[in-house]
A and B are shown apart, each in its own frame.
Chain A
Amino acid sequence: MKGNSRLRQILAPGLIIMLGLAFAAGAQTYPNTTFQPHSELGRAIDFLWNRLLLLGTIVFVLVEGALIYVVFRYRRTGRETSKPPQTHGHAVLEVIWTMIPAFILLFIAVPTVKIIFQTQAKVAAGALEIEVIGHQWWWEFRYPQYKITTANEIYLPVGRTVNFKLNSNDVIHSFWTPQLGGKRDVIANRTNYIWYTPDSTMKSAVWNGFCTEYCGTSHAKMRFRVFTVQPAEFASWVAGQQKPAAYGATVASLPAGQATAPAGGEPKTSGTGAEGGRSVAIERPRGAFVPGADTIAAPSPTSGVQLASLPAGYTFPRNVAEFDYAKPHTPIPADMNFTKGLTGSAARGMQTYSSAACIGCHAIAGNPSSVGNVGPNLTHIGSRATLGAGSFPNTPAYLALWIKNARKMKPGILMPTLGLNEYDPQLKKPVEKAMGGLDDQQIADIVAYLSSLK
């Protein structure tokens, strides 16, 4: 009986762990699970996984069972009168248990090799091409077939094979959307590919993507979003993205002198007014994002959607409760502030933007002075759901803080701290006027401008 109580001692902790995990499994949903694939690549992997799990479980139960049985069966009782039989081995047995693992491995090796060749075959003709360029720590996405450049967000039409062409601008990154397929490294001086087809039966949805190769300080915040949408929605999104920035016309009509005003200057009053368009009130967001007034209803069932029925400029609706996992919840650092009650002018913002350091790194199609190629393309920044590669929601409040001191929100990044008198954690000193520091009103103006770039 002593053996039995010992057995319980061993099993009890294991059971507690298992129960704890089972409880955990019931209490939460898993938005990034690899167990519910939504592409043929994901399902091929899942097929292998299920076989590996089945065989692994059998081996686990047999080996651990044998181990526990043997330990308790042959425990010393203290009543032994002689030493145990001094066996040195058994040739037949040893041959048998050499063959068993080899035999089991056959059931893994054969489908493995088959699926390797199947999933790395040449992609079918007519696939959607997307160039993925990894940067520390954000993603550049280009659609060469549609001449679109965007950042940190991918739109894919369901049912169409997509072929990702992967390159890095700097260190090694890795491109992964767990629910859609496996990962592939993103390497400089080397082009990699991975392709898959989002299930055609899927309703429009958004998936989280991650960089999975350690790439430096903010590796953890190199995320992206993949929107798998209906073909009509995709076409509409493409049409919207292909247009130059909404404010391009205004920029072009401005006198050249104003577009190239000296950096860090006082906001110009001339040229702003009613035509400044949308203005945005900015306040510091409180803690984690709370679904707010801009909530839009969940996408309607997509059957019957006609291409013609959607005007250009579709974007996936934000703040859908079902897709809450795709909305960043990271609180902003406690010591960040923004003057309350400021109202930004988009027109003034455009001028400030076009004369500030911004244009050295960012491009906005339609704004001739903004042609930098170091940072993300901002042509349609207003249409994006997140900021800082999936780190924060793209709302005016977050955007204002981001412009003011992005380095506090995402460590190590190139995007400079721009707020006047803000402490730059990399330069380890406050930003001065001469360094291009912007006051809160100027930032509010820029936010109004950028938010309008739908």
Chain B
Amino acid sequence: MATTAVPTHAAPHAATAYDEHSGIWSWLTTVDHKRIGVLYLFTALSFFVIGGLEAEIIRLQLQGPNGHVVSAELYNQLFTMHGTTMIFLAVMPLSAAFFNFLIPLQIGARDVAFPRLNAFSYWVYLFGGIFITLPILFNVAPNGGWFGYAPLTTKPFAPGLNIDFWVIGLQILGVSSLAAAFNFITTIINLRAPGMTLMRMPMFTWMSFVVQFLLVLAFPVITIALVFLLFDRFFGTQFYEIAAGADPLLWQHLFWIFGHPEVYILVLPAFGLVSEVLPTFSRKPLFGYPVMVYSGMLIGVLGFGVWAHHMFAVGMGPIGDSVFSLVTMLIAIPTGVKIFNWIATMVQGQVRLTTSMMFGIGLIGLFTIGGISGVMHSSPPADLQQTDTYFIVAHFHYVLFGGSIMGIFAGIYLYFPKITGRLMNESLGKIHFWVNFVGMNLTFFPMHFSGMLGMPRRIYTYDSGQGWDTFNLESSIGAYILAIATLVFIYNFLTSRKRGEIAGPNPWGAGTLEWSIPSPPPEYNFAVLPTVTSRYPLWEGDERDAESARINSQEGKTADELHIVLPYSTIKPMIVAGSMVIMFCGLIFARPLIFIGAASMVASLYSWLLSPLEPEHH
């Protein structure tokens, strides 16, 4: 393994950064962006497993015609929660894990702009995730689909608690996403190290930056849609009540104005990660950096102008259909540019097929398939045969599994040594990649066929003799193979944490700032704030880059010895988050909880705001 020279005294420190304060209390009170990133990572991976289990039950049910593993009611809860879990509780927070861990390291900062707000975001996410996940154990999980179309989710058609959990759960999770987004925008704008101009920022930070703006602009729209629904359900308003003459398309427009940017919220961080992986393992700078930045921004902007391509069957009329069709096709252009530039990055490089690189290359190959099928349903007449069939299920799993998840795995294998100080096992990693690759394609490729051969989505059963049996059996076998792949990954992840090879600061010979500091990084990240003179300070920087990298990589001193002021640990963000969730619980369980939660939230927030962030500077 190409470990760069590790100073001998650094090795014993490799695993100590967290050992010094590894008690539960230290995790509950931490405001360190790296530890919060680790919390995000473990929580999101847990939800990824839960969402995966839900998918496995779905595939068991659909393995053959007229399956009856679960009831119709439970099946509908499972597919709703599979989507909701994977989007809001697994992929977004996995991205957030990387935002947290990486952004300050990549821009040369000692923490995020608002460390306590960062902790608050995490706790809101955890409590909100538990809130929305637990009901499935009591057969009252949300059952209106992750898209929750009104009027199916209004009281007359969904009188139970199921949709209440969904509406409130998503509101809670929205608070987390918005708080985090503002935090990262402020961090990226204000905390960059000297010389870290915007056009020198690593591509992951750039794509994350774009995503934070998408979050800030898209989440208020779903929040409004959800507030309307919440008021309809709890307080008798009639935004979506068809009996009162409501137009059911109001929800769809609001939802997809959020929902389509959400797709880019899910996939752009993975694009960012792959844009780190490919240069690292080709030993070449990213090809066409400025174009990659602009195409990411363009995808983000256009992403707000295409929402109605989810609605080509609702009867918008020929002009609406045409406009949304053409703008949707336009998105293929910046996306195509990204793919070509990634491939060009490897041209003339020295390509090392590490596990991380294989997942990165896998993303290019598989996302391309999802992109091509995406263009296929950008054409509204063609989409009238495709929408709401398994063809769409195939498409967006190639985008979200082939894109987001492959990118996130590439990122995990790349950054695991930075996070833990130890390398993941490469042999197990490659087994993981290949089993995952076969399982992924076997699960989702046949869905193109079952869809175009007439199989609708979201059906809990289908009759025999429809020509779908073989494809569904293939998909189910593929899903079981994916389960095996995930088990290999979990085993590798957990054992490598304890027994993996010691990594050293820069095991891959990468070029960006985060690789100039020890693995795992000390609490303060950088002993001296670096001065940045290029996009790849460790590859092509001048003496100033080299000098700060030399100091930072060898530093074994504590923050006190270096006179670096760090924020106090505090439990208050968690109490505020918990109080907020109790307040929301009051809507469902007992109204007095609303007041108890609100009072506790205000009191703890007041206390939080009055307590100093960090010791006074000397």
Contacts and interface: CB of A to CB of B under 8 A. Distances in A.
Interface of A: 6, 9, 13-14, 17, 20-21, 24-25, 27-35, 44-45, 48-49, 52-53, 56, 59-60, 63-64, 66-67, 70-71, 74-76, 80, 83-90, 93-94, 97-98, 100-102, 105, 108-109, 112-113, 115-117, 119-120, 136, 170-172, 174, 176, 178-179, 181-185, 187-190, 192-193, 208, 210-221, 288, 324-325, 328-331, 411-412
Contact of B242 (A102, A189, A217): A189
A31 B614 CA distance: 69
Given A60-B368, A212-B456, A216-B152, A324 B329 contact: no
B403 interface: no
Instruction: Say whether chain A's binding surface is mostly helix, strand, loop, or mixed.
Output: mixed
B379 A220 contact: no
Contacts of A70: 343, 346-347, 351
B441 interface: yes
Interface stretch (B202-210, B257-265, B370-378, B408-416): B370-378
Contacts of A210: 454, 456
A101 B152 contact: no
B247 interface: yes
B485 to A, nearest CB: 13
A101 B376 CA distance: 14
Interface string B21-55: 00000000000000000000000000000000000
A199 B558 CA distance: 81
B316 to A, nearest CB: 10
A87 B284 contact: yes
Interface residues of B, number: 104
A109 B327 CA distance: 10
B513 interface: no
A190 B247 contact: yes
A52 B375 contact: yes
Contact of B387 (A48, A63, A97, A212): A212
Contacts of A170: 151, 157, 242
B523 interface: no
Nearest to A333: B68
A217 B337 CA distance: 43
B615 to A, nearest CB: 44
Given A183-B385, A212-B387, A120 B441 contact: no
A59 B372 contact: yes
A171 B152 CA distance: 5
A32 B467 contact: yes
B467 A29 contact: yes
B388 A183 contact: yes
Nearest to B326: A109
Given A75-B353, A172-B152, A183 B288 contact: no
Given A21-B445, A30-B454, A220-B462, A171 B157 contact: yes
A212 B72 CA distance: 16
B325 A116 contact: yes
A192 B470 CA distance: 35
Interface in B471-490: 471, 474
A268 B449 CA distance: 56
Given A88-B287, A189-B242, 5 more contacts: A13-B441, A24-B474, A31-B467, A32-B453, A214-B457
B333 to A, nearest CB: 5
Given A56-B375, A86-B540, A214-B458, A117 B318 contact: yes
Contact of A178 (B350, B454, B474): B454
B281 to A, nearest CB: 9
B194 interface: no
Interface string B561-578: 000000000000000000
A26 to B, nearest CB: 10
B333 A101 contact: yes
27 contacts: A29-B467, A32-B466, A34-B452, A45-B381, A56-B376, A59-B372, A64-B368, A70-B343, A74-B282, A75-B352, A87-B285, A89-B291, A93-B344, A94-B340, A101-B337, A116-B325, A120-B317, A170-B157, A178-B385, A182-B384, A183-B313, A187-B248, A189-B245, A190-B248, A190-B315, A219-B459, A331-B66
A63 B368 contact: yes
Contacts of A101: 332-333, 336-337
Contacts of A171: 149, 151-152, 157, 248
A67 B365 CA distance: 7
A30 B369 CA distance: 24
Contacts of A213: 149, 313, 388
A63 B340 CA distance: 8
Contacts of A48: 379, 381-382
A59 B437 CA distance: 21
Contact of B455 (A9, A32, A174): A32
Contacts of B608: none
B525 to A, nearest CB: 27
A94 B339 CA distance: 11
A97 B332 CA distance: 12
Interface string B356-398: 0000010011001100110110111111110111000000000
A437 B438 CA distance: 55
B346 A105 contact: no
B600 interface: no
Among B246, B383, B459, B474, chain A packs the most CB atoms within 10 A around the CB of B459
Contact of A30 (B71, B249, B383, B453): B453
B533 interface: no
Contacts of A80: 350
A29 B458 CA distance: 23
Interface string B304-332: 00000000011101100110011001101
A219 B458 contact: yes
Contacts of B455: 32
B145 interface: yes
B351 A74 contact: yes
Contact of B381 (A32, A102, A112, A208): A112
Interface string B48-69: 0000000000000000011000
Contacts of A59: 368, 372
A25 B453 CA distance: 11
Contact of B333 (A87, A102, A190): A102
Which 9 residue pairs are nearest across A and B when measured between Cβ atoms? A182-B384, A32-B454, A220-B459, A30-B467, A192-B315, A89-B288, A24-B470, A76-B350, A212-B388
